[in-house]
């Protein structure tokens, strides 16, 4: 089974979304919050295991075994392993493009999905497009490694429209971040 390594996500997302804001700058802003929060242990996902992923059919989730790479307007498209919402590809947008008039959220939740063409796992950022009413087309709710609210960056129920001019949810994209 491909072990999902959420430990590695944060820094990657930081680089993707924070642009020129350095990690040092961010940490300095943590201030009081860091003091109040105990240092977290690493989540119980073994880094050694992650280094030698088992991507045999027996180790793949039902979604991964049935995923396809041809049609990104279908719920079984490989990148959608943890998406919840309407697909922007069905709403006039693209796999990493918001439909006209909507706005990509600067933050997102993430998934780790296996591309059946190369058998490799990739980190996917599900960035919501915000500021327009729900598109209503191609509703999907896949839950590979989707967790609950206390681990929000792996939770697909949150409306990830923070930092946008409107929090109205329109649709979700599935952006490639890199190899998982």
Partner 1 sequence: MTLGQAKLAGMLLASVIAGAFAAPVLAETGEAEEATVMTMDAPKSGWFFVRGGWGSNGSSIFDSATGKMVGMIATGRDSDLGIDPAGKAYYVAETIWSKGNRGTRQDMVSVYDAKTLKLLTEIPTPGRLVIGGLKTNFVITDDGKTAYDYNFDPASSVNVIDLVKRKFVRAIELPGCANIIPNPGVGFSSLCADGTLATVAIKGSTQEITRTEPFFDAAADPIFSNFAYDRKKKQAVFLTYTGLISVASIGAKPTIGAPFSIQQAAGLRVADTKPLDINWYPGGMQVMALHRPTATLYVLMHKGEYWSPKESAEEIWAVDLATKKVTKRFPIKDGGGNIEITQDDAAMIMVTDNKNNARVIDSKTGEIKHTIENAGGGHITVVEPM
Sequence ranges of the binding site for substrate: 84, 156-158
76 is an active site residue: no
109 is an active site residue: yes
Catalytic residue among 72, 78, 109, 160: 109
Strands 120-126, 109-115: pairing is antiparallel
CB of 74 to partner 1, least distance (A): 13
Catalytic residue among 71, 72, 78, 128: 128
Query: Mapping DSSP to helix (H, G, I), strand (E, B) and coil, where does residue 93 land?
Result: coil
Residues numbered 140-179 forming contacts with partner 1, rule: CB under 8 A? 141, 143-154, 157-159, 161-163, 165-168, 170, 173, 175-179
CB of 45 or CB of 76, closer to partner 1: 45
Residue 89's closest CA among 40, 116, 36, 126? 126
Assigned token pair, 126: 């599900």
Residue 114's closest CA among 56, 52, 51? 56
Assigned token pair, 80: 């959608």
Per-residue contact string for residues 12-51; x = within reach of partner 1 by CB under 8 A: xxxxxxxxxx---xxx-xx-xxx-xxxxxxxxxx------
Residue 146's closest CA among 81, 92, 85? 81
Residues numbered 87-126 forming contacts with partner 1, rule: CB under 8 A? 90-104, 106-107, 122-123
**Positions marked active-site:** 109, 128
């Amino acid at each position: 089974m491909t072990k999902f390594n959420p430990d590695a996500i944060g820094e990657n997302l930081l680089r993707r979304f924070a642009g020129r804001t350095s990690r040092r700058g961010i940490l300095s802003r943590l201030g009081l919050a860091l003091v109040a929060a105990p240092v977290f242990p690493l989540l119980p996902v073994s880094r050694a295991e992650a280094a030698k992923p088992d991507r045999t059919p027996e180790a793949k989730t039902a979604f991964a075994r049935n995923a396809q790479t041809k049609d990104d307007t279908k719920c079984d498209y490989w990148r959608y392993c943890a998406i919840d919402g309407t697909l922007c590809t069905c709403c006039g947008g693209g796999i990493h493009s918001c439909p006209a008039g909507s706005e990509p959220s600067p933050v997102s939740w993430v998934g780790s999905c296996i591309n059946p063409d190369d058998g490799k796992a990739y980190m996917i950022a599900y960035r919501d497009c915000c500021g327009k009413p729900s598109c209503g087309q191609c509703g999907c709710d896949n839950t590979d490694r989707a967790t609950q609210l206390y681990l929000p960056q792996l939770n697909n129920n949150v409306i990830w429209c923070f930092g946008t001019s409107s929090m109205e949810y329109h649709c979700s994209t599935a952006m490639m971040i890199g190899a998982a």
